[in-house]
Structure 1
């Protein structure tokens, strides 16, 4: 469950970047983006708004369920790995998401507090006292509910906090995928000429192009155990596609769900599945 919400949360963060045309969120957007985590962790740990609603103002109640709520936020956000806080993951998120004026002081606080967790065997206590240390080190720049890790999944209930809408438009959908495109072009030796018009039906039968498509699917987290996941793909459509596109896109995915079974190679399976989806319904096909 943590892994699922971690992925949802992270893509929300990245979509927020691209929909709002900014390289980093402002303080209010950071706060808003954490509400999904809060709604996930409050019922799980039976805490009230009175108990956890003012953590970012320094109200740290030393109660076990509050401590585990803090641990839940860090776990869902991806700052906890193998039952330990990962300092490096927290630093990376500051670099990627925080406003320029907050980055240095927040990272300085993290550096100062990185040894706190080692004093506690219990992950709830480790997370609670780490968060408390961060607040006490720099109250002015302390932000709770905004941790995460790199690489994402599913998608959006949608630019929920910043834009107050419930699905991306087609243009926002396309724009949000550019982070995948940028990373996969750097990873796979392809040019814009080779992959720039995939969403217009230009599928060059080249191994690198095939592996580029597989890379995009992997980054979107629709590949599980080295295979395309029909269920994960459907969930993405439900979570982020505009209402007028959902049924059509899901129908194409349904029509093409068995294509990948013909190929042992993941690059080929991804390529021919994407091509099938395009050919089934060019009008509603969107790709990075």
Structure 2
């Protein structure tokens, strides 16, 4: 693992710690501030800027320089509010809903709404990011937050990374993977209104053909970051396996994903596509099937 990848995982780990300690989605303003330190550390050298140049952005110090602009774009990219090389207003709103403390959400959404069209004036993502950030600061300095937006969703990787680093940066064991997914199982059960009796034995091959169960499986896949543009992504699945699976499970898992990669193409509905893909993967290799 290269240094940049390691720092990215550390950033995810820090956010995970806050989330697990609070047992809630939202973070306090101070936790939002703390969560951005490693992200900031990664974007500073990447864009050849100094602390003096970018350290006071939150206080309204916007130096109109190319490197500073691209530093801001780097931060926005790492927080996943950049889609297809453009700032996404919808992604920003999702971030606010999921991670910001309740007392900040309305104010931050108002800033985002006021400045959502600024980026459309610029083809360059660095300029678009810089002027959008400046607009948001000017709109409400008291509630402006930077270098602290968090990931679009709590992903499977978030929780896994804790065990991953604690394990000496080696791949997780099967038991650790199962344990790490518990928080997401709880979240998806509540979201889709399914019971333990309905989804608790999926890993053992009990696939109840019910819409709620189907959407529960889709929810898990979304949180595992293997859904892109509302479709299951073969490439993202392989990447997750390479990063997190123990060595003895990587090849069997890849083989099953390969065998079932075309199943989802038969279904326009993500819930159905996820359900039948998971069932296919189980049937291909029950012994090595892992699911929350």
Q: When the two structures are superposed, what TM-score results if normalisation uses the length of structure 1?
A: 0.68
**Hey, what does 1:131 align to over in structure 2?**
133
**Hey, what does 2:260 align to over in structure 1?**
260
Cα-to-partner distance string for 1:101-157 (whole Å, 9 max, x where unaligned): 222332333344445445555442332122123234433332112346756766247
What is the CA distance between 1:233 and its match in structure 2? 3.6
Q: How has the CA–CA distance of structure 1 residues 87 and 259 changed in structure 2, closer, same or farther, with 3 Å as cutoff?
A: closer
C-alpha distance in structure 1 between counterparts of 2:154 and 2:277, whole Å = 21
List gaps (5 residues or longer) in structure 2.
Answer: 267-272
**Hey, what does 2:199 align to over in structure 1?**
195
Task: Report matched runs for 1:1-288 at 5 Å.
Answer: 15=16, 19-20=20-21, 21-35=23-37, 37-118=39-120, 120=122, 122-147=124-149, 150=152, 155-156=157-158, 158=161, 170-183=178-191, 185=192, 192-199=196-203, 201-204=204-207, 206=209, 208=211, 209=213, 213=217, 216-222=220-226, 229=234, 232-233=236-237, 235-237=239-241, 239=243, 246-250=246-250, 252-254=252-254, 256-260=256-260, 265=266, 266=273, 267-276=275-284, 279-281=286-288, 285=290, 287-288=291-292
Alignment size in residue pairs? 266
Q: Is the 8 A contact 1:90 1:148 kept in 2?
A: no
Q: Is the 8 A contact 2:253 2:288 kept in 1?
A: no
What is the CA distance between 1:47 and its match in structure 2? 2.1
Q: How has the CA–CA distance of structure 1 residues 228 and 70 changed in structure 2, closer, same or farther, with 3 Å as cutoff?
A: closer
What is the CA distance between 1:207 and its match in structure 2? 6.9
Cα RMSD for the two superposed structures:
4.2
What is the CA distance between 1:85 and its match in structure 2? 3.2
C-alpha distance in structure 1 between counterparts of 2:28 and 2:110, whole Å = 19
Cα-to-partner distance string for 1:60-93 (whole Å, 9 max, x where unaligned): 2111110122123223323334554333432332
Q: How has the CA–CA distance of structure 1 residues 238 and 139 changed in structure 2, closer, same or farther, with 3 Å as cutoff?
A: farther
List gaps (5 residues or longer) in structure 1.
Answer: none
> RCO (CA 8 Å, sep 6+): is it higher in 1 or 2?
1
C-alpha distance in structure 2 between counterparts of 1:57 and 1:112, whole Å = 19
Q: Is the 8 A contact 1:94 1:107 kept in 2?
A: yes
C-alpha distance in structure 2 between counterparts of 1:233 and 1:122, whole Å = 31
Cα-to-partner distance string for 1:243-277 (whole Å, 9 max, x where unaligned): xxx23543541563454268574543321213555
SS at match of 1:59: coil
C-alpha distance in structure 1 between counterparts of 2:45 and 2:256, whole Å = 39
